[in-house]
A and B are shown apart, each in its own frame.
Chain A
């Protein structure tokens, strides 16, 4: 059974967010691999192919999540990527990935607000994993 668990790579530099989200996702029945920085995630990705990745946007630099998403997609084009961020509401920055044009340069399949409810996150993951 364990072997068939889908694995999710979770990358965030906020230790608490990492802990809480991991707990949630594990309860959904997935295997979770975490990294707390862009560089650590890059190292992990050299040897590991997750079934899905959830990336924080702002880590070492303000666009770490985008860069990581770009690199991940280049290596594994079929792995769905979710970018999670808390920046929109406060900074007025807004980036969705709904338009074709956005999808081209933001290498993510979905963009979520960090406050998203656990059950919503669960549904999004299932949708992207097509299970």
Chain B
């Protein structure tokens, strides 16, 4: 197991050994990592000692108390900044010095752990730092390999994944503390919301898998003559349950056979995303028209809805990652914010393009053109 080096700087031996005990038994794993990461902990009781250790070898993570007998933690932090040591500093502060914690954060401390902390709080802080280190390393590795990697993307992604986790965690805590009494009935809403957030997270992960498959170029594309009309029909059927739920009717207008050189799965993703949007952003009792126009030199697919539509200023960023239009009408609609960016990337693989026309309150029309 790979190990990260952790240096604990605290003048209270009890805290040092406590942290040591907790972290030596702890390891962090994420679904996207091959193996778990464990921790080697070194303890020191003063800032001066810490600097000696740092000059010799820079640990991956430093847990730094501010109130030390000689040199203060914040001074150690300054030293780390001056030397440009590559390490992540977590300040341990007593609650009263939150202001200091903010200052330390501004000076480059990654985060702070308020004291007293529970083993679980320590573990989650370390988990988040480990993820940060891992992503940073991965970024560097990919950069070295000449691959473009967008740290921004990963940052936003971790935010998108963390938000539902926070929500679920909060609900579990409410249940743990029996804040709504001892009757399980009282927790129905909480359970429903938690399940909804889990579902949203699952959808995000599925979309993400689609996106990474496209971006890595690793997915084996199987381009062959396929019947686009057939794929559209399957997608319309797939949307059956959600269209019934929302009372939206889907009309498919297509010649029986539209043969096009394509990867079946890619077109399924395109249809599924656009049709599900057309339903989600529709009004109750609305309609969706999916029209396939098979021309000699190009294939045109039009997906038109009678939904809530968009303002002009909302459209330019529509195909960007994690962009979701937020307003009064969309606030109860869930989505990963990745669907349209996936669709656009797929269309590009066919040298096609996608355009959108929309009017608030009337609906949106997405038009896809694929050259033959």
Which residues in A have some Cβ–Cβ distance to B below 8 Å?
13-17, 19-20, 23, 27, 36-37, 39, 59-61, 86-92, 94, 96-98, 111, 114-115, 117, 120, 123-124
Contact = CB atoms under 8 A, between A and B. Distances in A.
B128 interface: yes
Nearest to A123: B95
B193 A92 contact: no
Interface size on B, as a range, is 20 to 34
Contact of A14 (B102, B106, B110, B163): B163
12 contacts: A16-B193, A23-B174, A36-B331, A37-B328, A87-B159, A90-B155, A91-B159, A96-B106, A98-B99, A114-B166, A115-B166, A123-B95
B111 A16 contact: no
B197 interface: yes
Contacts, number: 71
B170 interface: yes
| Interface pairs A-B: 8 shortest CB-CB | A16-B167, A20-B170, A96-B102, A90-B159, A91-B155, A90-B158, A90-B155, A96-B106
B128 A19 contact: no
Contacts of A88: 105
Interface string B91-104: 00001001100110
B167 A59 contact: no
A17 B132 contact: no
Q: Determine which residue in B132, B166, B179, B197 has the highest number of CB atoms from chain A within 10 A of its CB, and name it.
A: B166
A17 B166 contact: yes
A36 to B, nearest CB: 7
B323 to A, nearest CB: 11
Given A59-B326, A114-B166, A115-B166, 10 more contacts: A14-B167, A19-B193, A23-B174, A27-B179, A39-B328, A86-B166, A89-B111, A91-B156, A96-B102, A124-B98
Contacts of B111: 89
A117 B114 contact: yes
B155 to A, nearest CB: 5
B171 interface: yes
B155 A96 contact: no
Contacts of A37: 326-328, 331
Contacts of B163: 14, 86
B162 interface: yes
A92 B155 contact: yes
B92 to A, nearest CB: 15
A86 B162 contact: yes
A94 B105 contact: yes
Given A19-B193, A90-B156, A98 B326 contact: no
A61 B327 CA distance: 10
A23 B166 CA distance: 15
A98 B106 contact: yes
Contacts of B155: 90-92
Contact of A16 (B156, B158, B170, B179): B170
Nearest to A111: B102
A89 B110 contact: yes
B336 to A, nearest CB: 15
Nearest to A97: B102
Contacts of B166: 17, 86, 114-115
A4 to B, nearest CB: 24
Nearest to A61: B326
B110 A13 contact: no
A20 B171 CA distance: 7
Nearest to A112: B98
A115 B158 CA distance: 15
Nearest to B326: A60
B320 to A, nearest CB: 13
Given A90-B156, A98-B99, A17 B110 contact: no
Contacts of A27: 179
A94 B166 CA distance: 20
